[in-house]
Structure 1
Amino acid sequence: MKEMTELHSLAAVEHFIKQHQFSFIYISRPGCTVCHAVLPQLRLLLDQFPKIALGHINADDVEEVAGRFSVFTVPVLLLFIDGTEFLREARFVHFEQLEERLKRIYQLYEDE
């Protein structure tokens, strides 16, 4: 399963995004049952993409994350490439579609 970095401040999130060419941010809340179901599936999916770093933010601990990334519901999955948001999924994630989108994006950067 994909290794995940816990991020405990907005500064840590910003640093994580800048530090990795491909950074995937997972925003959740402890009481969210959908969040608990989506996370293991996401970690398994991201195993296919070794260059994508996964970071997790608890929106209850880092409340300002909602304003910074325009989060209205959880979970939110954000893919950043070179510091720019490239992909966003929220609440109900269609993993087959997400996998196809990630494969296309990843392939584009592999071909460079």
Structure 2
Amino acid sequence: MLRVGDVMQCLTSMEELDKEVLENPMLLVYSSGGMCSVCTVLKGKVKIMMHKYPKMKAVEIDGDEHPEITSQLSIFTLPAIAIYINGKEVLREARNISLELLDEKISRLYDLLYN
């Protein structure tokens, strides 16, 4: 399974995203933009944070290249992070994201699912 610590797989269609959501018990979807410097910095920090969650897969959507995906997800500001558990979106953070608070929320969800 591809992990965010290795490479964050870039999705190019809603079909790919739907498949990932269905196949992975816990999935982080990172939406960013090529011209967004905050997105680039945050992505590196998210990769580091993800090492704590080896069973959670992460994928990326480039909102500049694939606005049809982000608009279908009702993501209109970048960066955005959505967490899916068993096919349902359970958490969404966007724009000004506190990594500390995000980590706490993910930790709680991860523990409920895997412990």
Q: What SS does structure 2 have at the residue aligned with 1:70? A: coil
Q: Does 1:43 align with 2:47?
A: yes
Aligned residues: 111
Q: What SS does structure 1 have at the residue aligned with 2:60? A: strand
Shift of 1:107: 1.1
Could you tell me which amino acid in structure 2 is paired with residue 37 of structure 1?
V
Q: What SS does structure 2 have at the residue aligned with 1:64? A: helix
User: Could you tell me the TM-score, scaled by structure 1's length?
Assistant: 0.93
Q: What SS does structure 1 have at the residue aligned with 2:75? A: coil
C-alpha deviations, 1:12-34, integer Å up to 9, x for none? Answer: 11111111011110011100011
Q: Does 1:15 align with 2:19?
A: yes
Aligned match of 1:82 in 72, 81, 86?
A: 86
Could you tell me whether the CA contact under 8 Å between 1:27 and 1:57 is conserved in 2?
A: yes
Where do 4+ consecutive residues of structure 1 move more than 6 Å?
none
Aligned match of 2:34 in 14, 30, 36?
A: 30
Cα distance in 2 for partners of 1:67, 1:39 equals 20
- Give the corresponding residue for 2:5: 2
C-alpha deviations, 1:20-76, integer Å up to 9, x for none? Answer: 011110011100011011000001111100111000011122121232111110011
Considering only aligned residues, what root-mean-square deviation do their CA atoms show, in Å?
1.2
Q: What SS does structure 1 have at the residue aligned with 2:58? A: strand
Could you tell me which amino acid in structure 2 is paired with residue 70 of structure 1?
S
Aligned match of 2:62 in 58, 64, 67?
A: 58
Q: Does 1:110 align with 2:114?
A: yes
Shift of 1:80: 0.2
